[in-house]
Amino acid sequence: MEFTQGFAPLEDAQVHEEAQRRRADGWRYVQMLAVNRDEGVDVIYSYMKDGALENLVVEAVPHDGKLESISDVYLESFVCENEIHDLFGIGFSGLAIDFLGNFYRLSTEKPMTIISPEQLARREKEAKAKAAAAAKAAAQTQEQNAEDMEAKLAAMDPEKAAKVRAAMEAKAAKEKKQAEADLEAKLAGMDPEKAAKVRAAMEAKAAKAEKEVR
């Protein structure tokens, strides 16, 4: 018998239905695994039939998220589901045998979701680099869009172009006002000391930008 193995995505809402389909088609439940990622926890369901091992991956389940238990279809899965709950924080609704978070005696809550300071520093650095790249790309796109708009306005009837410019300026002013209001609401909900630091950083950034324009 030839052995084959494959991986395929699985939607969280289809977990229980897929288990029922596999059971009806004669597939054997093998195991469940969980893998911690920045985006959440990947939960992998493994089924086997006639030498074929298929691994179905529910990607990036939020920490403290919930999936439907398959223990009413494959009773033996209650072991892995309780384990994943205790170690990763993922809940399972409808567990046939639920240890209510007491499957393991743990000194740390959700130990498999903890990362080292080095990992955290690396992830923060990567996130900042991605944010900077995205901001640069957005600025380039905005600049290109402005140039394209200027070209269109230059080709318009002057009176119509003036109306379009006025409408664009009004829209930009409205969006700026709304953004400022949203920011003020966020700052109001912050710790006063942190809010003061954010304001100072924003003012310094604005002053730098104004200096560069001059």
Q: Are residues 60 and 81 in the same domain?
A: yes
Q: Are residues 90 and 27 in the same domain?
A: yes
Q: Are residues 15 and 49 in the same domain?
A: yes
Q: Which domain holds residue 202?
A: 171-214
Give CA–CA dist 7/42, Å, rounded.
12
**What is the pTM for the complete model shown?**
0.58
Q: Are residues 204 and 180 in the same domain?
A: yes
Q: Are residues 37 and 52 in the same domain?
A: yes
Q: Are residues 20 and 62 in the same domain?
A: yes
User: Looking at residue 162, what is its pLDDT?
Assistant: 86
User: Looking at residue 141, what is its pLDDT?
Assistant: 87
Q: Are residues 98 and 44 in the same domain?
A: yes
Q: Are residues 209 and 140 in the same domain?
A: no
User: Looking at residue 182, what is its pLDDT?
Assistant: 86
User: What is the number of domains present in the chain?
Assistant: 3
Q: Are residues 194 and 134 in the same domain?
A: no
Q: Are residues 178 and 201 in the same domain?
A: yes
User: Looking at residue 33, what is its pLDDT?
Assistant: 96
User: Looking at residue 131, what is its pLDDT?
Assistant: 86
From first to last of its 214 residues, what are the pLDDT tens digits of the chain?
789 999 999 999 999 999 999 999 999 999 999 999 888 999 999 999 999 999 999 999 998 899 999 999 999 999 999 999 999 999 999 999 999 999 998 888 888 887 777 776 787 788 888 888 888 888 888 888 888 888 888 888 888 888 888 888 888 888 888 888 888 888 888 888 888 888 888 888 777 766 665 6
HEC profile of the chain:
CCCEEEEEECCHHHHHHHHHHHHHCCCEEEEEEEEEECCEEEEEEEEEECCEEEEEEEEEECCCCEEECCCCCCCCHHHHHHHHHHHHCCEEECCCCCCCCCCCCCCCCCHHHCCCHHHHHHHHHHHHHHHHHHHHHHHHHHHHHHHHHHHHHHCCCHHHHHHHHHHHHHHHHHHHHHHHHHHHHHHHCCCHHHHHHHHHHHHHHHHHHHHHHC
Q: Are residues 29 and 98 in the same domain?
A: yes
Give CA–CA dist 21/97, Å, rounded.
22
Of 114, 123, 76, 113, residue with least CA distance to 95: 76
Burial 51-88 (b: 16+ CB within 10 A, else e): eeebbbbbbebeeebebbbbbebbeebbebbbbbbbbb
